[in-house]
Amino acid sequence: MRVVTWILRVVSVATFVYLSYTVYSIMSGRWDWGIPYEYIVTVFRLLSLIMFFLAIMIVNGVASPLLGGQVLNNLVGGLYNTLILRFWYMQPYGVSGPMMNVNEVFTSFMNDFIGILMTLWNQTFTFLYFLCAAVGIALFLQSLVRMDHKFVIGAFISIQLILVIAAFRDVAIPNYEVFPTDFYEFLVSKAQILALVSFAYLESSYQMIYSHSVGKPIEEREETLKKQLLALRMATRKQDRMERGEKVSTTAMSRSSGATAFSFLREAIERKVVGTKDALENMDAVADVRRLQHFVDELLRNDPAAKDELTAKAAAPSESYVIRSAVTGSAIRLMAVVGVSFLLMNPWVFVALLNLPTGIANSVELLQPEFMLLFLVPVVALFPFAAMLIGSIVKREVEIEGNLTKEQKQELKREKREMKQKKKKAEKARRERTHVRRKRRGESEEKDEWDRAIEDVARE
């Protein structure tokens, strides 16, 4: 499943890049890369003017009775020249030099304030374009790592918000002023391409998250079990070498492996695999580890599929099935979206099928949104209706099963028990046949993956 997830991750990246490029090409000529910096500078200037105005009001209220009007005028001019004109990196908005008259200061202040507000208004939309793009890219990268639907939706909405904001600035957004009656013309239109790319991004991202959610728990469980079995094998081998009188080196790896093995043993005992929890302290730990090792070896030897069953790998769908299902399902949904959208937005198909009178067929009302809703509402209501129908059928089956008599319930349980026993017998016979064939061939004992893993650890 990891391979499938990576393939879908690459597809998601490709569709997002193409979606971003489509929006970027639609907004061609509107991307001024200096606007973010200029916008921040403009906001700083606006704040400095507001702070200057507040400072003047405070100084005027406190110093006017003490210093007099002329001194106050000079103070206001000095503050404006120092705090505003010199604090900005250039002389703003046509001011060529310092001002000495308080009337000139307030006139310049009002002109600067209005000019800055107009500049800020013009730059806000472009700044929002960059902000939405940055947020969309950040959320998209988060979706690749976190594998969460909310980041996928956030990235999609952020990119689409660029076009929504641009619509308030009278930017030419792809739209259907006159809906095309030709299917090929509808399919290659800019609006439809944008819709298909957006759908492809959402589809691939959701498939990626689904593949990750299915495969991740199985991979984690498989990795955990491999570590536990490897630690169990290493602990047994170490005890065998000690009994033979060989010198055994104690490393961090062996101490960790021993601790893991005994924790695995304790977990097995608590689950009543080899005993009870109350008898744990009375057991010989070494003998129990060896007994558990023999049990695992016998299980893996008699049943080749035991490892996959223990790790739940056998229950996971195959990679080829997931890829085939994702491609087939996505293709069907894509064709359904294209076909349904064309039929809903093009009333002429239904007019031809219904054979409406000429007066109705040529009326302007056919192009109104209300007429489109006559087809859109039933299609939208079809999905919850299907869900309610399926739910009612399932509920009815449960009610029928609950109304069975006692004899019928016992008969149903007996049939299930017999079927389960037949499956067990067939599985046992298959294992015995496999074991007999191996003995007849005289297969020698080969090193399994745990022995090879131990040798790799020893070499390291």
Q: At residue 383, does pLDDT exceed 70?
A: yes
Q: At residue 451, does pLDDT exceed 50?
A: yes
How far is residue 352 from each of residues 191, 361, 363, measured CA to CA in Å?
A: 25, 9, 14
Last residue of a domain, one of 274, 290, 310: 310
Name the one residue in this structure whose structure tokens are 């109104």: 368
Q: Which pair of structure tokens corresponds to residue 90?
A: 């250039």
Give the contacts of 302 (CB within 8 A, at least 6 positions apart).
Answer: 431, 435
Q: Which pair of structure tokens corresponds to residue 82?
A: 């120092």
Between CA 244 and CA 247 the distance in angstroms is 9
pLDDT band at 136 (very low <50, low <70, confident <90, very high): very high
Give the pLDDT confidence score for residue 381 in this predicted structure.
Answer: 82
50 residue type, one letter? I
How many residues are listed for the chain in this entry?
A: 460
Q: Compute how many other C-beta atoms are within 10 angstroms of the C-beta atom of residue 145.
A: 8
Q: Compute how many other C-beta atoms are within 10 angstroms of the C-beta atom of residue 19.
A: 24
pLDDT band at 280 (very low <50, low <70, confident <90, very high): very low
pLDDT band at 392 (very low <50, low <70, confident <90, very high): confident
Q: Compute how many other C-beta atoms are within 10 angstroms of the C-beta atom of residue 80.
A: 24
For the chain, percent of residues with pLDDT exceeding 90? 10
Mean pLDDT of the chain: 72
Give the pLDDT confidence score for residue 135 in this predicted structure.
Answer: 94
Are 253 and 457 within 8 A, CB to CB?
A: yes
Q: At residue 305, does pLDDT exceed 70?
A: no
Identify whether residues 101 and 151 lie together within a single domain.
yes
Give the pLDDT confidence score for residue 140 in this predicted structure.
Answer: 94
Identify whether residues 147 and 231 lie together within a single domain.
no
Are 72 and 64 within 8 A, CB to CB?
A: yes
Question: For the purposes of burial, counting CB atoms within 10 Å of the CB of 97, is it exposed (0-12), middle (13-18) or buried (19 or more)?
Answer: exposed
Identify whether residues 15 and 50 lie together within a single domain.
yes
Give the pLDDT confidence score for residue 303 in this predicted structure.
Answer: 66
Between CA 159 and CA 233 the distance in angstroms is 54
378 residue type, one letter? P
Give the pLDDT confidence score for residue 444 in this predicted structure.
Answer: 45
> Would 119 be classed as within a structural domain?
yes
Give the contacts of 218 (CB within 8 A, at least 6 positions apart).
Answer: 1, 311, 312, 313, 315, 316
Q: Which pair of structure tokens corresponds to residue 187?
A: 């399919």
Identify whether residues 89 and 116 lie together within a single domain.
yes
The residue among 382 and 132 whose pLDDT is bigger is 132
Between the two ends of the chain, the Cα-to-Cα distance in Å is: 30
Q: pLDDT per residue over 94-108, tens digit each?
A: 445 555 555 666 676
Identify whether residues 149 and 227 lie together within a single domain.
no
> Would 98 be classed as within a structural domain?
yes
Identify whether residues 296 and 152 lie together within a single domain.
no
Give the pLDDT confidence score for residue 29 in this predicted structure.
Answer: 78
**Could you give the number of structural domains in the chain?**
3
Q: For residue 121, what are the domain limits?
A: 2-208
Mean pLDDT of 11-39: 87
Q: At residue 139, does pLDDT exceed 90?
A: yes
Mean pLDDT of 417-444: 71
Residue 120 phi/psi, 5-degree rounding, is: -65, -40
Between CA 152 and CA 169 the distance in angstroms is 27
pLDDT band at 318 (very low <50, low <70, confident <90, very high): confident
Identify whether residues 219 and 202 lie together within a single domain.
no
Last residue of a domain, one of 255, 275, 310: 310
> Would 325 be classed as within a structural domain?
no
> Would 453 be classed as within a structural domain?
no
> Would 230 be classed as within a structural domain?
yes
Are 147 and 213 within 8 A, CB to CB?
A: yes
Q: At residue 335, does pLDDT exceed 80?
A: yes
Last residue of a domain, one of 208, 233, 249: 208
> Would 458 be classed as within a structural domain?
no
Judged by average pLDDT, the poorest of 21-25, 150-154, 165-169, 346-350 is 346-350
> Would 197 be classed as within a structural domain?
yes
Give the pLDDT confidence score for residue 281 in this predicted structure.
Answer: 45
Mean pLDDT of 334-354: 78
> Would 228 be classed as within a structural domain?
yes
Identify whether residues 25 and 161 lie together within a single domain.
yes
Identify whether residues 47 and 164 lie together within a single domain.
yes
pLDDT band at 277 (very low <50, low <70, confident <90, very high): very low
Identify whether residues 70 and 149 lie together within a single domain.
yes
Are 54 and 83 within 8 A, CB to CB?
A: no
The residue among 420 and 365 whose pLDDT is bigger is 420
Give the pLDDT confidence score for residue 98 in this predicted structure.
Answer: 56
How far is residue 7 from each of residues 4, 201, 228, 322, measured CA to CA in Å?
A: 5, 14, 31, 11
Identify whether residues 161 and 241 lie together within a single domain.
no
Phi-psi group of 28: left, alpha or beta (phi > 0 → left; psi -120 to 50 → alpha; rest → beta): beta
Query: What pTM did the predictor assign?
Result: 0.62
Q: At residue 85, does pLDDT exceed 70?
A: no
Are 218 and 316 within 8 A, CB to CB?
A: yes
Q: pLDDT per residue over 212-228, tens digit each?
A: 888 777 777 777 777 77
Between CA 194 and CA 370 the distance in angstroms is 25
Give the pLDDT confidence score for residue 259 in this predicted structure.
Answer: 47
Cα 210 from chain centre: 9
Identify whether residues 10 and 109 lie together within a single domain.
yes
Give the pLDDT confidence score for residue 221 in this predicted structure.
Answer: 72
